[in-house]
Amino acid sequence: MAKIQIRTALLCTAGLVAQAISPAHAAHPFVTRTHGTPPSVTVSGVAVDNSSAKIDYQPVPGAKDYRVLDVSDPGVVKYAGMMRYLSDPYGNKRFVTQVDGVTPVWPLQVENVSCCTGPETFDMPSAEIEWNMLGDGKPHTLIVQAVDQLGPAVYANQYDGNNNPLMPPMAGIPSMLGSDEGPTDDGLVSINGQGPHTDTPHVIAQSAPFVVHADSTVTALPSRPDAQQTFLDTFGGAQSDPIAPTGSADPLNGAKTYSMGAGTSHPWHIQYLNADITHSMPSVMDGHFMDTLFDGSTPGVNNPLHVAHGVMAMSPDPTANFSGGRMLHATMEVDAHIGSRRWVAFNLAPANDPLTNWYGNGPLNKSDRALFVEVEPGTIKTTLFDGPTSPTDLSPHSQSLTGSAGQAAQAICRCYGAGNPWHSNGHGLDNRSRLDLFVTTTHFAYFEDGGLVAQGDIPNGLGFDAAKVYFAHYLYHSDMDHQELASSPWETYWLNQMPYSDERHWDNMGFEVLPSSAIPSSSDWSSLATLVHMPRSVTPVFTPAAGAPTVVAPSATNTPPALPVATDTTVTTVPSATGAPSQTPPATAVPSVTASATTIPSPTTTSTVIATATTPPTAAPIDASGDVTVTATPPGIPGTTSTTPTASTINGLPSGQYTVETRIIDAQGNVKLVTTAPLVIP
């Protein structure tokens, strides 16, 4: 008899969820409401790295957002959020549409037209979601769902103009102001929800289940076998990068420092400056680094809020020596969706002269020497600081090497990266881009998602050949940003949910030093794209249940409220499917699941579903550690209780049609069996 484990979703009075998670290797049957066969979401590609996967899919008519869930933990969902797609930053092109003149042809296509005959932009949910939580090295079965509302923001993480939480703290309800992850009013744990916290998205279509498996061999560095001084942090595994405050915090100047990964092979120094240091903070979770930044001041010091030059800068403790004609290569993954007052950057300073200022509005360090490569909306701003302006003016003298037209020696359009041809501003929030910087003492090149965006000479030389490397996050005068974004209605998250803070998600960060033989012989460094090893998108591997018409919606949001609770005592028993997936020997008996429903008279009449899984003696072999788990969804029911070691009783499901799906996965993560059975509650 296969062991039964119960995974419950218990709703508290605030409508938020606390969950007990079953072992990762367990099998995962679940009960979900269906109303006929739902439309399908077509998953077109999956690109995995060492701890995450980028999932691409085709848009669904009527969808206002998309989300991904793991069937082993369906109470956690990640949303796509909004994107603006651009046909051409220079005009004279428009998107090809279907016959209605409004709906875009997908994949997106453009055609040449006279200026301004549109459509030149589409504001729509992103057609890609980056799913983390794959760092355990095991296969995971995922599903993409199209929904009819933007995903809800986390109310417990929202704040007012004084950085006070909108929701009073409650016992058992986790919160971190400015974070995009947490329990939401619909009973789920939501990530990257960009709509009002009251949104309750209904599922209108979903994909077939597909399997993803992180590949630990997919790493950004080293890019060549002869690379030296390689420092790379993937923020996972044994290198979990513990974070601890260091030194004394300075609330008046918004300064606070942290160490990360002390005692490991990946030690970091993290600095916040001109920030609200009560609510700005770093963290590591699900195989990546995150930071939340509120520009200062810190509440309680009587300085105005939301008007400061806020920054979070993180730097590896080791420095890079690229003397002798060698080349420095720095890399990071970060959500590079940028605003005019919120952006990211690479900063280089002499190895023995660390930065104390990241804005150039005052002394940067003792020598006032540095190179800043800042990723801004529509451009890459590269600034060389080459010492004090004069003996009496100690502000740094600067040269603008690249930037916006009229503001730099070379105008750069951050337009079409190799990985994002229709949106010139990253892949969206909580969806990372790959950024790479190559530097010698005389030349530099910046790549985004493997495509060259900016390059140029460094006049009179860099001034140093051993560098401290910084990865920086900026938030400048968010109060003005809140006003300026009124002309950008697609920025719903910054406008309406988190106006005075900014959160970034980082991974695969570090640097290496390459020999002079790696440097291109000409000033055109576009060939260095071969050193940017991007994960390859492949056709997804669908599970044996790919055709099952099961809407895996682990919430009450796809349950129409008008459906009544059963009031008569009826039992409907439906046997499970008896066929096995193709990888199971067809001549051998297989485990089965039987589901039944009844009504129990009580002061509050409730329906009861009982799902029982059995393993016949002649069943196909299943690893002894492969469990059977019964999960009750949608939540909103009073609770889930175990009546026997072989059954789960689920109280309070409304009458309607359901599907019981049993998924047995062995300890190695291999799907051994998928069966489905219809269930009717009169």
Greater pLDDT, 580 or 302 = 302
Q: Could you tell me the pTM of the whole model?
A: 0.77
Residue 670 has a pLDDT of 46
pLDDT interval class at 102 (50, 70, 90): confident
In this prediction, residues 546-564 reach a mean pLDDT of 33
Tell whether 468 is covered by a domain: yes
- Rounded to an integer, the average pLDDT of 406-434 is 82
Residues 544-555 have a mean pLDDT of 40
In a domain, residue 620? The reply is yes
The mean-pLDDT minimum among 163-172, 500-509, 533-542 falls in 163-172
Question: In CATH, what number is assigned to the domain containing residue 490?
Answer: 2.60.120.560
What is the reported pLDDT for 112?
83
Same domain, 61 and 120: no
The stretch 486-510 carries a mean pLDDT of: 93
Q: Helix, strand, or coil here: 556? A: helix
- Asked if the structure places residue 535 within a domain, the reply is no
Q: What is the mean pLDDT of residues 422-449?
A: 93
Cα(531)–Cα(512) distance, integer angstroms:
12
Average pLDDT over residues 451-473: 96
**CA–CA gap between residue 678 and residue 682 (Å, rounded):** 13
Residue that is last in its domain, among 509, 530, 551: 530
Please check whether residues 319 and 178 belong to one and the same domain: no
Place of tokens 């956690």: 76
Residue 544 lies in a domain: no
Range of the domain at 110: 90-124
Integer Cα distance of 344 and 661 in angstroms: 45
Considering the domain boundaries, does residue 628 fall inside one? yes
Query: Are 201 and 234 members of one domain?
Result: no
Q: What is the pLDDT of residue 278?
A: 96
Residue at 548: amino acid letter? A
d(CA 154, CA 156): 5
In a shared domain, residues 28 and 110: no
In a domain, residue 223? The reply is no
SS3 state of residue 483? helix
Q: Which of 168-182, 206-220, 534-548, 572-586 has the highest mean pLDDT?
A: 206-220
Assess whether 137 and 240 both reside in one domain. Answer: no
Residue 405 sits in the same domain as residue 451? yes
- pLDDT beyond 80 at 580: no
- The whole-angstrom distance between residue 202's C-alpha and the CA centroid of its chain comes to 21
CB count in 10 Å sphere of residue 307: 16
- CATH number, domain of 147, equals 2.60.40
Same-domain status, 332 and 275: yes
Tell me which range, 61-65, 167-171, 436-440, is most confidently predicted by mean pLDDT: 436-440
Based on the structure, what is the number of domains in the chain? 4
Task: Indicate the SS3 state at residue 249.
Answer: strand
- In this structure, of 5-14, 120-129, 220-229, 406-415, the range with the lowest mean pLDDT score is 5-14
Ranges 279-288, 525-534, 568-577: which has the least confidence:
568-577
Task: Work out the average pLDDT over 186-192.
Answer: 95
Domain assignment present for 552: no
End-to-end CA distance of the chain: 30
Dig out the tokens for 351 from the structure. Answer: 């190895």
Does the pLDDT value for residue 26 go beyond 60? no
Q: Residue 678 burial by CB count (10 A; 0-12/13-18/19+): exposed, middle or buried?
A: middle
Here the tokens at position 577 are: 């499917």
- The residue that leads in pLDDT, 639 or 163, is 163
* 543 is a domain residue: no
Are 30 and 139 in a shared domain? no
Domain final residue pick, 218, 240, 268: 218
DSSP 194: -
């409304």: which residue's tokens? 654
What integer pLDDT is reported at residue 178 of this predicted model? Answer: 97
Q: Write down the pLDDT at residue 517.
A: 97
Question: Which of the 8 DSSP states describes residue 503?
Answer: E
449/54 Cα distance (integer angstroms): 13
- Of 1, 173, 28, 163, the closest CA to residue 624 belongs to 1
Is the distance from CB of 278 to CB of 163 less than 8 angstroms? yes
| Average pLDDT over every residue of 59-68 | 95
| 573 or 661, greater pLDDT | 661
Judgement on whether residues 112 and 130 belong to the same structural domain of the protein: no
Does residue 626 surpass a pLDDT of 90? Answer: no
Q: Specify the pLDDT at position 629.
A: 36
- DSSP letters, 565-618, are PP-S---EEEPPP----TTS-TTSB--EEEEEEEEE-SSS-EEEEEEEEE--TT
SS3 526: helix
Maximum average pLDDT range among 475-489, 515-529, 650-664: 515-529
561, 186 Cβ separation under 8 angstroms: no
Domain final position from 218, 246, 268: 218
Residue 16 CA to residue 653 CA, distance in Å, equals 19
Q: Read off φ and ψ for residue 277, nearest 5 degrees.
A: -80, -5
Q: Does residue 433 sit in the same domain as residue 301? A: yes
- pLDDT (0 to 100) of residue 477: 95
Model pLDDT, residue 103: 78
Residue whose tokens read 């008899």: 1
pLDDT of 657 above 80: no
Q: Do 416 and 466 have their domain in common?
A: yes
108 shares its domain with 233: no
